[in-house]
Amino acid sequence: MKLIFTTAVLSGLSSGHGHGTDTTHSHTMGTASFLWPAPRPWSASADNTPPCGSTAGIGNRTSFPLTNGRLALVSQGDTRSVRIGVSYANDPRNLDDFAILLDPEQFGDLEVGHTCIKTADSPMGVVAGSNATWMVSYTDEETDEVEYACADVTLVEAVAFTEKIPCFNATTEGDGAEVDEGVNATTLKADGFEAHPELSRDEGGLGGGAIAGIVVGVVAGVAIVAVLAFFLWKRSKKSKAVQPAMVQTKDVEKAGSDASSH
């Protein structure tokens, strides 16, 4: 199985440094997790508990294509022994419920930043409307503990899938990035394929601090979009208020001109 990697350059999302404030670490996730599909809520007390590292059960499910799917992973610390698995049970409770699609020999580790993975197509017999759960497990290099995260999905036909997948790699250089219209994801090359072991943080990649900032930046992305939308709304409202005032001024000037002509 080949892995797809993509690039994004984000700036200014977490460049501020406050006293006693950690601007490069998210406290709403473990060392690594899914960026997309949406993961189950993280729990510090349960992230070492298989198979999903969460005290929450199945909640909202994300629509996921039967074929040509992607997993967007985010890591804010060094990991090893990464496994990616999937279960087609409605409510998987044990590791045995998951088929491991990528093991440590195939995947290796997750470096700090974002990684985009092309998934295998759903097997025969799994149809649109079926439920599935994706799982990632890994060993945290700092604590030497195994941690887990899950994302619950409902499978849909690829032609019916229209969501934009936030799938990219923040550890590779962004030159030549192209849009893969077929899956609504940004891919590094036109053919979409780049082997994971060939990537290196030392070969033109972003520095560790910048990448860590990007991790927090993406987690906070929804808030940033909301602020931007509010700014645009305020500017639009101000523009509409100025326009009637300008019309009124012109009417006054015209009335004065007409009066002086008599």
17-48 confidence digits (pLDDT tens): 333 344 456 777 899 999 999 999 999 999 99
Q: Establish if 108 belongs to a structural domain.
A: yes
CATH value at residue 105: 2.60.40.2550
Based on the structure, what is the number of domains in the chain? 2
Q: Are residues 191 and 261 in the same domain?
A: no
Token pair for residue 42?
Answer: 């993280």
Coil vs helix vs strand at 234: helix
Non-local CB neighbours of 87 within 8 Å, separated by 6+ positions: 51, 97, 98, 99, 132, 133, 135
Q: Establish if 231 belongs to a structural domain.
A: yes
- Residue 262: what pLDDT? 53
- Residue 24: what pLDDT? 52
Q: Are residues 209 and 229 in the same domain?
A: no
Q: Establish if 122 belongs to a structural domain.
A: yes
Q: Determine if residue 204 is left, alpha or beta; phi over 0 gives left, psi from -120 to 50 gives alpha, anything else beta.
A: left
Q: Establish if 127 belongs to a structural domain.
A: yes
Identify any residues that bridge with 169 across adjacent strands, giving them in sequence order. Answer: 7
Q: Are residues 124 and 88 in the same domain?
A: yes
Q: Are 73 and 5 in contact (CB under 8 A)?
A: no
Q: Are residues 81 and 98 in the same domain?
A: yes
CA–CA distance, 92 with 87 (Å, rounded to integer): 7
243: containing domain: 225-262
One-letter amino acid at 205 equals: G
Q: Are residues 127 and 179 in the same domain?
A: yes
Q: Are residues 144 and 241 in the same domain?
A: no
Q: Are residues 155 and 185 in the same domain?
A: yes
pLDDT, one tens digit per residue, over 160-201 is 999 888 887 775 333 333 333 433 333 333 333 343 332 333
List, for the chain, all residue ranges whose pLDDT scores fall below the cut of 70: 1-25, 171-262
Q: Are 75 and 111 in contact (CB under 8 A)?
A: yes
- Residue 251: what pLDDT? 46
Which residue, among 210, 47, 69, has the nearest Cα to 136 in the 3D structure? 47
Helix axes of 208-219 and 221-261: crossing angle, nearest 10 degrees: 70
Q: Are residues 184 and 239 in the same domain?
A: no
- Residue 247: what pLDDT? 40
Q: Are residues 253 and 177 in the same domain?
A: no
